[in-house]
Amino acid sequence: MTLPAAQLTGISKRFNAVVANDGVDLVLRRGTVHAVMGENGAGKSTLMSILFGLLSPDAGQILIAGRPQVFTSPLDAIAAGLGMVHQHFKLFDSLSVAANVVYGAEPRRAGLFDRRAAEARVRELGERYGLQIDPRARVSSLSVGERQRVEILKALHRDATILILDEPTAVLTPGEVTTLFAVIRRAADAGTTVVLVTHKINEVLTVSDEVTVLRDGRVTGHFLTGETSSAQLVHAMTGREVRPVSNPGLGSPGATVLQVRDAGVVDAGITRVRSVSFAVRAGEIVGIAGVSGNGQHELVEAILGTRPTQSGTVELLGADVTRWTVRDRRLRGVAVIPEDRRGEGSAIGMSITENLALGHHRTAPIGAERGIRRGWISVRAARAEARALIAGYDVRTAGEQQSVGSLSGGNAQKVVIARELSHNAPLLIAEQPTQGVDVGAIEAIHGRLLDYRAGGGAILLVSHEISELLALADRILVMLDGALVAEFSRADATTAGIGAAMAGLAAQNLPNGSRP
Amino acid sequence: MHVFELSFVAAVLLAATPVLFASLAGAISAQVGVFNIALEGQMLWGAFAAVAASYYTGNPWAGVLAAVVSTAVFALVLAVGAARWKADPIVIAIGSNLFALGITGFLMGVLFDVSGSFSPRGLVGLPKMQWLHDVPVLGAVFGGQTALVPLALVLIVVVGLWLLFTPHGLRLRGVGEHPEAAASLGINVPGYQFWVTIAAGALCGFAGAQLSLGNVTVFTENMTAGRGWIAVAAVMLVAGRPLWLPLACLGFGAAEALGFRLQGVGAPQQLTDAAPYLITILVLVLTRIRIPRRTKASLTA
Amino acid sequence: MSDSRASWRAHPAARLVDAAARHPAVVPLAAVAVAVLIGGVIIAAAGLDPVTAYAAVLAGALDPDTLDYTFSVWGFICGMALVAAIPLRMGEFNLGGNGQLVLGGLAAALVAGQSGLPPLVAVPVALLAAAVLAGGFGALSAPLSTRFGIPIIISTLLLSPIAVAVVSYLVRFRIGEAGAAVAQTERFPEGARMWAIGDLSYTNVGLLVVIGLMVAFWLVDSRTAVGFELRVVGANRRFGAYGGVRVGRLAFGAMAASGAVAGVVGAIITLSSPYRLIDGALLSPGYTFAGLAAALLAGGRPALIPVTAILFTVLQVGGAAMERSADVPRQLSDVLQGVVIVVLALRTVIDSRRSGESGAR
């Protein structure tokens, strides 16, 4: 059978001025693993949303098994045999695995929901594709890797012949990635067509049969995996050879700025951070590696004070701030670039000036700490400050009174980074500072972090990009299931070593007291 | 005061029934993720529609029908606004409650040329289930009640079980918990929200009819007097488990029934009026204190 | 379809229309227009003449002979609009204005009823007592929300009838005038009445107090750190908490301030003619929800409140006149208030459709 499973021709989609897809062609051959590659913003997600019926294209045609299709909703796509595992899982936490898998296509008996049949179906699919999971478990009790299996089972339950996986490995440990790839192979061998959306070259080379590369909304390369190389893929993705990561010297650590001792965080009965201890000194970048969801974010929240600790202490510049409010900690000297820039790091309905002013509004020049102006705000000073930061950080905007929501993602992110860096706080916490940023901006941000360190700042860098940590951090701590399980100095840190620790395969150089 | 008399149970049930209907309306709205605080106004409209229709037709069941249908139509504002157009359900509800208060008073003046309250001769209330009188226990509890009283209890159980054991119930629960997830599986989320909000309106119609043709046979301006808010509190109390609603609402009914009895022995009406609210607030606070402790204990055990 | 719309948009005249449609005054004005229209339909459907009715409303509200009264009502509605607007700025609803209003009236009556206070002391002390009592009561909702997770909108609604019942009980049985047919306190002594302005019988210094409160709110909102934090939390609560705003404390302050303003309004009404606390009299005009409607119509913006309050004042004062002269029940005012609020809520639709066109990824 030579008819492709799916054929997309001339797909175009624009959002106002932004061209997300421009005449994209994609041919998915039956029973193959087809990687769709590209950097952030290259148009992969838009293309997949169109294929899955979440967006309708401005132009172009979709053929599924030779038949033209117009999807007005994912329902149409599902009916045509497509299934999609989104990057952010779409699961019902309070329901069981079986209920999640069959939701919307439930087996029935006498008009009632047939729970037994649903559970049997999950077991049967699990055995067929190597996706073992307890059908009765509540999703809220599952690990990230298990949740992903539920997502895949959902698609398989609906007899998907084309399975789209959107950045499936971003949330997995290396061990789980191996398992996933085995599942992918098994599904492809059974005749399912798998689309793997990713920007990681080694994954593409490991598991795919074919690769289509996107850049700026266009196809810039199509290869058979066996006939291509990583250099060729990089060139197609970026249009240039990527320079090797700059390797700046080590910092020169001074006095301790942050000292965390035995910190524990419990959220809704689940332990997120267990007995974590470490220190960050002035003039040092300490990295925290780990698959996302292993307690890094909760640890950051505990240091900033937006989340209470159940045990242990947090010391900032020698003072025990464990019971302090966020405001007092910030005044003492901590700034945070949060992971969720849009939801936590900004108010998109407010102006750039107002977004930049938060946290600076009680100190000169915008506010005043004492005297007759205490508690008052100078709007003029706030606007002047905003203009200076907009210029200094190259925020592209029509003016400082524009709303942050009107900015592009990258520029909105610069507003957050500008605000936090301009505190010149002794401690800077940067969570995934380069996530969702284009290559040029990554270099700029890395440069700023290194300057910050050179100026005597202490930086806690949380990232799930091992390469980023290797490029910047003086020391790297690995977090797994809420605990620090390994520490590497720059000298003996390797991708393999850190990856193994992230997966729980090795524990070395344990910092004192980080084990429960 | 004989709290454990069956007549007291009957009084509690009577007081609780309008709130039962309304809280079921609120609970199903909550299940699909619509914060429904329009219950108060919808119930008031239902009470008015029931009295008006019963008065014109001479048949109280026509009143019930009119209340249910017209309140479902009344709920269109919330259904279209919140489910279809994604407008703020709180603001819509505040507006529609005010509208209900105004329009019922307005129509009372225009149609019946009275203000304050309307209870003409010839206004027929709902019949009581006298035929139950000889049945032990049931007779004492339900014999003096309208058929809507047991209906409220039955509906809660049916809806509660339907949510748990049918495909549509499963889908409905998913819609409220994670609308994007439901939508990604082809579930028409606004559709569920729309029809559930309409159904909630119909339930508020029952609540109003029971209030104005069952509990009493009169319509008075603002006669719901905060029962819709008690229902909202009851919804919060059961936190997504509709089968527990009777417990929450009977607490309110008990407070009101007890109030009547206390008035009978000379307690001022103003203070007994406040009792249901005070009890509702206290119960909300008390349950909020206990829940975290319990979950903590069960998880660390 | 999207193509044709795009080309339509490119037309210069269409752009002008588009720009005009985005002016911030359009939405409130449209809401009012729609409400008036719907009200007209309702009046007509009831077999009455909308034009006569509305003319009666305007004539009643703007009658030069009673303009004094109209102004005093405008002051009360502005005050209650402030009560709604302060928490609205941080995204919270205070629907317990009635309870806070009567507690203010109670505190004022208790202070004013004490004979022997010198006139210059009695009124300020009464206002202060009202602010403290009602402010404290309003502030209760903040810990109920932060500690126990009971939304402020719910707790204010549940607490309000308790206060109303207690005050009603006290007026009827404890502090009321003995032997009176109506549950009311005795007339306050001359020295404990709201200071008059000239020989006006309704409008008095209380109006100036309310105007002062509005100016204060405007200053706090636009020029102070607290006002800024209030707006930040209203725009994105997580952002506020992350930025160091003490959200719980802010909610406490906002609810206390909101309740205090309600208390002051209650005190002003009570200390004005007829200089008694009368059971139910503070609530029957419905200032709380008229104020809420005015605040919503103003989008919580302090500078617009005096303007939007005019509309609801006209409805309130003119409604009674309409009932008298055009035989249209005064409850039409409530109907129109409700319609204005609903139309305002639905405006988000227009907004989101617009932003959906321009802001999608």
Helix (H, G, I), strand (E, B) or coil at A485: strand
Partner residue facing B90 (CB), from C93, C172, C289: C93
Q: What is the pLDDT of residue C74?
A: 96
Residue A240 — very low, low, confident or very high, per pLDDT cuts 50/70/90? low
Which residue in chain A is spatially nearest to B295 when comparing CA positions? A269
Start-end of CATH 3.40.50.300 domains in chain A: 6-238, 246-317+426-516
Chain-chain contact of B277 with C329 (C-beta, under 8 angstroms): no
Chain-chain contact of C159 with B281 (C-beta, under 8 angstroms): yes
Tell me which CATH homologous superfamily contains domain A6-238. P-loop containing nucleotide triphosphate hydrolases (3.40.50.300)
Given the structure tokens 């965390």, which residue do they identify?
Answer: A260
Chain-chain contact of C224 with A375 (C-beta, under 8 angstroms): yes
Task: Kindly report, residue by residue over B69-95, the tens digit of the pLDDT.
Answer: 999 999 999 999 988 888 889 999 999
Q: What is the pLDDT of residue C8?
A: 45
Tell me, which fold does domain A246-317+426-516 have in CATH?
A: Rossmann fold (3.40.50)
Q: What is the pLDDT of residue A409?
A: 73
Partner residue facing A377 (CB), from C223, C235, C360: C223
Please determine, for residue B255, whether its predicted confidence score (pLDDT) is greater than 60: yes
Task: Kindly report, residue by residue over B3-43, the tens digit of the pLDDT.
Answer: 457 888 888 888 899 999 999 999 999 999 999 999 999 99
Q: What is the pLDDT of residue C359?
A: 31
Mean pLDDT calculated for residue range B187-194 = 91
Q: Is C55 on the interface with A (CB under 8 A)?
A: no
Domain limits of chain B?
6-300
> Is residue C267 in a domain?
yes
Percent of chain A with pLDDT strictly greater than 70: 92
Mean pLDDT calculated for residue range A452-473 = 89
Q: Which residues of C touch A375 (CB under 8 A)?
A: 224-226
Partner residue facing A327 (CB), from C224, C227, C244: C244
User: Which residues are CB-neighbours of B242 under 8 A, at least 6 positions away?
Assistant: B24, B27, B28, B31, B156, B159, B160, B163
Chain-chain contact of C231 with A338 (C-beta, under 8 angstroms): no
| Number of domain units in chain C | 1
Which residue in chain C is spatially nearest to A303 when comparing CA positions? C242
Residue A185 — very low, low, confident or very high, per pLDDT cuts 50/70/90? very high
Q: Is B114 on the interface with C (CB under 8 A)?
A: no
Q: Which residues of B touch A269 (CB under 8 A)?
A: 295-296, 298-300
Chain-chain contact of B92 with C345 (C-beta, under 8 angstroms): yes
Residue type (1 letter), A504? G
Mean pLDDT calculated for residue range A477-498 = 88
Task: Kindly report, residue by residue over A365-398, the tens digit of the pLDDT.
Answer: 888 888 888 889 999 999 999 999 999 988 888 8
User: Which residues are CB-neighbours of B94 under 8 A, at least 6 positions away?
Assistant: B37, C93, C95, C292, C296, C341
Give B46-61 as a 3 state SS string: HHHHHHHHHHHHCCHH
Please determine, for residue A506, whether its predicted confidence score (pLDDT) is greater than 60: no
pLDDT in tens, chain C (361 residues): 344 444 444 566 666 666 666 666 677 788 888 889 999 999 899 888 899 989 999 998 888 888 999 999 999 999 999 999 999 999 999 999 999 999 999 999 999 987 678 878 899 999 999 999 999 999 999 999 998 889 999 999 999 999 999 999 999 888 888 877 888 998 898 888 888 888 888 888 999 999 999 999 999 999 999 999 999 999 999 999 999 999 999 999 999 999 999 999 999 999 998 899 999 899 988 899 999 999 998 988 899 999 999 999 998 899 888 888 888 888 888 899 899 889 888 875 555 444 433 333 2
Residue A372 to residue B255: CA distance in whole angstroms: 54
> Is residue C17 in a domain?
no
Beta-carbon pairs below 8 A across chains B and C: 150
Residue A434: φ, ψ to 5°? -110, 10
Distance from the Cα of B294 to chain A's closest Cα (Å) equals: 10
Q: What is the pLDDT of residue C353?
A: 44
Partner residue facing B174 (CB), from A103, A105, A154: A103
Mean pLDDT is highest, among A41-50, A99-108, C214-223, for: C214-223
Residue C277 to residue C183: CA distance in whole angstroms: 9
Residue A506 to residue A403: CA distance in whole angstroms: 48
Task: Kindly report, residue by residue over B100-123, the tens digit of the pLDDT.
Answer: 999 999 999 989 988 889 988 888
Instruction: Residue window 163-192, chain B: list those with CB within 8 Å of chain C.
Output: none
Q: How many residues does chain C have?
A: 361
Task: Kindly report, residue by residue over A264-316, the tens digit of the pLDDT.
Answer: 998 866 788 999 999 999 999 999 998 767 889 999 999 999 999 999 999 99
Percent of chain B with pLDDT strictly greater than 70: 94
Chain A neighbors (3+ CB pairs < 8 Å): B, C
Distance from the Cα of B76 to chain A's closest Cα (Å) equals: 26
Residue B294 to residue B296: CA distance in whole angstroms: 5
Which residue in chain B is spatially nearest to A108 when comparing CA positions? B167
Q: What is the pLDDT of residue A248?
A: 67
Residue C113 to residue B289: CA distance in whole angstroms: 41
Given the structure tokens 């998109």, which residue do they identify?
Answer: A348
Q: What is the pLDDT of residue A30?
A: 92
Report CA-CA distances (Å) from C64 to B205, C70, C306, C310, C312.
45, 9, 20, 16, 18
Residue C270 to residue C167: CA distance in whole angstroms: 13
Residue B247 to residue B237: CA distance in whole angstroms: 10
**Structural domain B6-300, CATH architecture:** Orthogonal Bundle (1.10)
Please determine, for residue A477, whether its predicted confidence score (pLDDT) is greater than 50: yes
Mean pLDDT calculated for residue range B175-202 = 91
Which residue in chain B is spatially nearest to A71 when comparing CA positions? B186
Mean pLDDT calculated for residue range A315-342 = 93
Chain-chain contact of C329 with B236 (C-beta, under 8 angstroms): no
Which residue in chain C is spatially nearest to A358 when comparing CA positions? C243
Instruction: Residue window 337-356, chain C: list those with CB within 8 Å of chain A.
Output: 355
> Is residue C200 in a domain?
yes
Chain B neighbors (3+ CB pairs < 8 Å): A, C
Q: What is the pLDDT of residue C11?
A: 63
Residue C159 to residue C136: CA distance in whole angstroms: 12
Chain-chain contact of B106 with C348 (C-beta, under 8 angstroms): no
Q: How many residues does chain B have?
A: 301
Written as six digits, the tokens of B217 are: 């046979």
Q: What is the pLDDT of residue C213?
A: 97
Please determine, for residue A256, whether its predicted confidence score (pLDDT) is greater than 90: yes
Domain CATH number, residue C205? 1.10.3470
Q: If 0-12 CB within 10 Å is exposed, 13-18 middle and 19+ buried, where does residue B113 land?
A: exposed
Give chain C as a 3 state SS string: CHHHHHHHHHCHHHHHHHHHHCCCCHHHHHHHHHHHHHHHHHHHHCCCCHHHHHHHHHHHHHCHHHHHHHHHHHHHHHHHHHHHHHHHHCCCCCCCHHHHHHHHHHHHHHHHHCCCCCHHHHHHHHHHHHHHHHHHHHHCHHHHHHHHCCCHHHHHHHHHHHHHHHHHHHHHHHCCCCCCCCCECCCCCHHHCCCECCCCCCCEHHHHHHHHHHHHHHHHHHHEHHHHHHHHHHHCHHHHHHCCCCHHHHHHHHHHHHHHHHHHHHHHHHHCCCCCCECCCCCCCCHHHHHHHHHHHCCCCHHHHHHHHHHHHHHHHHHHHHHHHHCCCCCHHHHHHHHHHHHHHHHHHHHHHHHHHHHCC
Mean pLDDT calculated for residue range B263-270 = 82
**Looking at per-residue confidence, does A121 or B136 come out higher?**
A121
Helix (H, G, I), strand (E, B) or coil at B82: helix
Chain-chain contact of C144 with B285 (C-beta, under 8 angstroms): yes
Q: Which residues of A touch B183 (CB under 8 A)?
A: 74
Q: Could you list the residue range(s) of the whole structural domain that residue C326 is in?
A: 26-359
Chain-chain contact of A325 with C240 (C-beta, under 8 angstroms): no
Partner residue facing B98 (CB), from C165, C334, C352: C334
Partner residue facing A362 (CB), from C225, C236, C361: C225
Beta-bridge partner residues of A112:
A109
Q: Which residues of B touch C328 (CB under 8 A)?
A: 110
